[in-house]
A and B are shown apart, each in its own frame.
Chain A
Amino acid sequence: MLDKNKKFSCSRRSFLKGIAATGATAAVGGSIFDFKPGSFKKAEAATGTSAKVFQNACPRNCYDTCAILSTVEDGVLKKVTGNPKNTYTRGRLCAKGFSYTRRVYSPDRIKYPMRQKGRGSGNWERISWDEALTEIAEKILQIKKEYGSTLPICLNKYSGNFDIMHYGIEGMFSSIGYTSRATGTPCWPAGIDAQTFDMGTIICNDPEDMVNSKYIILWGVNPAWCSVHSMYFVEEAKRRGCKVVAIDPILTQTASKADLYLQIKPSTDGALALGMVRYILDNELYDADWLTQNSIGYEQFFGYVKNNITLEWASEKTGIPEIVIENLAREYAATKPANIWIGYGMQRHTNGGANVRAIDALAAITGNIGKSGGGAQYAHLQTWGFNYHAMLQSPPEGSKGGKDRAINMNNFGAEVLGAKNPPIKMLWIACRNPMTQDPETSVIKKAFEAMDMVVTAEQFMTPTVEMSDIVLPVTTFFESPGINVSYWHWWMNLNEQAIKPMYEAKNDVEIAMKLSAKLNELEPGSCTFPTSGDLEEWVGKEFNDNIYKQFGIQHWKDLKKGPVKAKNSRVAWKDGKFLTPSGKYEFWSEEAFKFGHHPLPVYVEEMKATDNYPLRCISPHWKLNIHSQFQNLDWMEAINDAPSIEIHPRTAARYGIKNNDNVKMYNDLGYIILPAKITETVSEDIVVVYEAWYKNRNYNVNYTVKAIPADMGEKATGMPGISFHDNFVNITRV
């Protein structure tokens, strides 16, 4: 079981090695009907005698991966609620989750395949599935003939849907031959590598265990917006007497609920952690027994801290007064168990991985690793040990090219344009929206423009679809089956098909099957992906004995009774057996050194503002979306339809900016214009713009974001992360 999981412990991204396809359950072109949302009956709707309840799973790239119960009446999804059997999501959904009926029945959905005459022209025409697949298949075969391999064809698929069956998209690509693949993960790899160097992989305690903490530091994480179900456990810990501290450059919603908030200079978190270590060391508050039994290299680490770190330095770096650092260090070291939740935001820097290593070290020297209520909590992938049946497909015999070619997802535009021998000529985009979510939008656009063909499988007319030649309509998770687990909690939720596919939408695996059929019709043997199959049976093919044992079930259909939780969930590293080369917690990591880092958790200088661009723009997640999803739905638009730029009052005064003035935020890459929101929740040297896609606005913070790599990520995920928050800009009133 552990071995199996170990294989998957690096990253969901790094095992893109295959293809898969499936038979679709619903008839092609099944249910085209002119759905009028207004025709809902009122509250009685869901209580009718024909109402059926289905189990669904929210597949979004979110900590919470909610268990959903869907009420369907006469084939219409009437409402969704949380499934109370999942003790992490506790029968509750978030605002986004409650809006799902609006997504399924949105009039904006892509309803049938379409072809655009001229990328970006908006000149779309409806085509049949057969026409679309023929055109795509002919292009694939033509490229293969012209270049001798399928390497000029590139897939960019990632986090739009984390259902395990969706790895069938990668499977489809494997079954046509060796191809180019967007590789890496934008959001969190620096922290993954950091914990991999320290402990061997990422494993966190069950988040439900937070109630046992006596001291919680929410470090660069905003669960009130991004992991809202965790807030119950934070509140419950508080009720039981736990002190909650938030450390963040921004007074976030989460920080506003803490007992103590410390505003820190962005990207200096490692300096704070090392300053705390110095205090703990000087005052002998560390756990010597734990260190001798469970770690290597702590002597060298203590030596480094003694020789290089002072509280005065830490204070100067972080902007936090020495006395506050001392108090924090003393409280944290003296209160057991103490938990640090390390956010993904704080590692999106050129020193993000180093900062996470410093925080890990703080947790380790105080003996908080391997304890209930303790931990250096980042994430885990321990419940992801599926078969990846849909994904693991073999290339056709005699395929040329030798192996897949990795294209850095985090510098995608430039790498696509720069690919040689052979060049990249065709893109397939699925579960992604690079035109709004990737850095350097203008380069992404150039890459799209340079293609012979761009195919996007989508539900909405996103800016990425606008730059495509062909769009294929895909189902929502209510319209096809799947299986979902989380990178935070330890539950597994089955996703049942609750309604028929809308319009002509198809599941991505079904698209793969149809494409395979077309390819084989045009050139027998050109694609190994199965051309038919039952999608639900394919869900079953993802399971194995290890998963059954881990979750204590006999058969995957047991999940129809409700979600189940892994039996091995509670406390990470309890046995002190780390997955590092030494089997110990490694303060001194040869592995880190091999990847070009200092072997110890040392401070790495943060990026600083320049004269031309004196402000740091932080672009965190917004509460009403997950990246480019949700904010386009009518219920969300009704609450919020206007991004803004948050500016400190003194900064605003310096630039002569008042509330709601239009502000141009710019650097040498590009600019955006946004209304100002003057607030002291940000500090004077930063501005905050939340990343999102709004349907009818030319708004995209990534116009200004460079593809600067984070320090770490290469070991576990193949590519370093992106320093999204090392974006330096200037502003002016317009």
Chain B
Amino acid sequence: MVKQLGFIIDLNKCIGCKGCEMACHNENCLDDIHYRKIVTLAEHPKNFFGFLSMACNHCRNPACIKVCPKGCFKKRKDGIVLHTNSNCSGCESCIGACPFRVPQINPQTGKVEKCNFCFKRIDQGLKPACVEACIPEALYITDLSKPLSEKYHEILPGFTIIRITRPSIRFILPQPPVCFWRHDK
């Protein structure tokens, strides 16, 4: 592997606005499925609105490739995992194998679809639509095969990220504000 493109999410900056999710819908003209979703992180009594924007994690060891009986998945040299659905039978093995349940059946076609990292945009030197849409620049991409700053974390406290397939996603952990709650006399 020459490269491994992946997503970085700065949870300090993410405001859960769902702009990335909708930009993905808009770019890919999606009807019934979501390539990218915003998950609300574990409910804390003083919920600091932790959000996690997640699409396909373009794993280093993708389980989907291994289980697909039709060989629909392939991994590019830049690490992007692509699904070509002409042979897809909709058997859903990939959905079961993916720790993040990323592939989804498109009810209109009966075939699987998932985030393709906007590979056509990447090939034109552009950013994925979700990244380009992120207003606070909380979501961006990087080459994870290069040495990474220690501020990029592989795990999120209080949220399970299954590491077995080596997902290409990293986090900058949130720093909540200093809060003074009301103090009525």
Query: Bound complex: CA of A569 vs CA of B26, how far in Å?
Result: 33
Given contacts A256-B49, A256-B177, contact A92 B12 (CB under 8 A): no
Query: Bound complex: CA of A95 vs CA of B135, how far in Å?
Result: 11
Tell whether, in the assembled complex, residue A265 and residue B19 are in contact, meaning their CB atoms are under 8 Å apart: no
Tell whether, in the assembled complex, residue A638 and residue B34 are in contact, meaning their CB atoms are under 8 Å apart: yes
Q: Which residues of B contact A42 (CB under 8 A)?
A: 28-29
A224 lies within 8 A of chain B by Cβ? yes
Tell whether, in the assembled complex, residue A92 and residue B134 are in contact, meaning their CB atoms are under 8 Å apart: yes
**7 A-B pairs closest in CB distance:** A98-B22, A319-B182, A40-B29, A224-B15, A95-B18, A95-B22, A98-B26
Which A residues, 609 to 641, have Cβ-Cβ distances below 8 Å to chain B? 623-624, 635, 638-639
A680 lies within 8 A of chain B by Cβ? yes
Q: Mark A55-81, 1 if CB is under 8 A from B, else 0.
A: 000000000000000000000001111
Query: Bound complex: CA of A95 vs CA of B29, how far in Å?
Result: 14
Query: Bound complex: CA of A235 vs CA of B17, how far in Å?
Result: 15
Q: Name the prevailing secondary structure of the A interface residues.
A: mixed
B120 lies within 8 A of chain A by Cβ? yes
Q: How far is the CB of B42 from chain A (nearest CB, A)?
A: 13
Tell whether, in the assembled complex, residue B12 and residue A228 are in contact, meaning their CB atoms are under 8 Å apart: no
Tell whether, in the assembled complex, residue A225 and residue B17 are in contact, meaning their CB atoms are under 8 Å apart: yes
Query: Bound complex: CA of A241 vs CA of B180, how far in Å?
Result: 22
29 A-B pairs (CB sep. < 8 Å): A38-B108, A40-B29, A43-B27, A43-B29, A43-B116, A80-B26, A81-B26, A92-B19, A92-B132, A93-B19, A95-B18, A95-B21, A98-B22, A98-B23, A224-B17, A228-B135, A231-B136, A235-B137, A259-B177, A260-B177, A263-B182, A265-B182, A315-B183, A319-B183, A320-B180, A321-B183, A623-B17, A635-B25, A680-B46
Q: Which residues of A contact B183 (CB under 8 A)?
A: 315, 319-321
Interface residues of A (CB under 8 A from B): 37-38, 40-43, 45, 47, 78-82, 90-99, 101, 224-225, 228-229, 231-232, 235, 246, 251, 253-265, 315-316, 319-321, 324, 623-624, 635, 638-639, 649, 679-681, 683
B13 lies within 8 A of chain A by Cβ? yes
B1 lies within 8 A of chain A by Cβ? no
One of B18, B25, B31, B136 near A624 (C-beta < 8 A): B18
Q: Which residues of B contact A255 (CB under 8 A)?
A: 177
Q: Closest residue of chain B to A685, judged by CB?
A: B184
Query: Bound complex: CA of A263 vs CA of B48, how far in Å?
Result: 14
Q: Closest residue of chain B to A321, judged by CB?
A: B183
Q: How far is the CB of B47 from chain A (nearest CB, A)?
A: 6
Which B residues, 126 to 148, have Cβ-Cβ distances below 8 Å to chain A? 132-137
Query: Bound complex: CA of A550 vs CA of B38, how far in Å?
Result: 42
Which B residues, 46 to 97, have Cβ-Cβ distances below 8 Å to chain A? 46-49
B176 lies within 8 A of chain A by Cβ? yes
B45 lies within 8 A of chain A by Cβ? yes
Tell whether, in the assembled complex, residue B25 and residue A98 are in contact, meaning their CB atoms are under 8 Å apart: yes
Q: How many A-B residue pairs have CB under 8 A?
A: 147
Which B residues, 116 to 168, have Cβ-Cβ distances below 8 Å to chain A? 116, 118, 120, 132-137
Query: Bound complex: CA of A38 vs CA of B26, how far in Å?
Result: 13
B178 lies within 8 A of chain A by Cβ? yes
One of A41, A81, A232, A680 near B47 (C-beta < 8 A): A680
Query: Bound complex: CA of A82 vs CA of B49, how far in Å?
Result: 26
Query: Bound complex: CA of A235 vs CA of B184, how far in Å?
Result: 32
Tell whether, in the assembled complex, residue A257 and residue B34 are in contact, meaning their CB atoms are under 8 Å apart: no
One of A93, A254, A263, A623 near B179 (C-beta < 8 A): A263
Q: How far is the CB of B182 from chain A (nearest CB, A)?
A: 4
Query: Bound complex: CA of A99 vs CA of B34, how far in Å?
Result: 13
One of A90, A257, A264, A320 near B15 (C-beta < 8 A): A257
Query: Bound complex: CA of A246 vs CA of B181, how far in Å?
Result: 12
Q: How far is the CB of A216 from chain B (nearest CB, A)?
A: 13
Query: Bound complex: CA of A42 vs CA of B84, how far in Å?
Result: 12
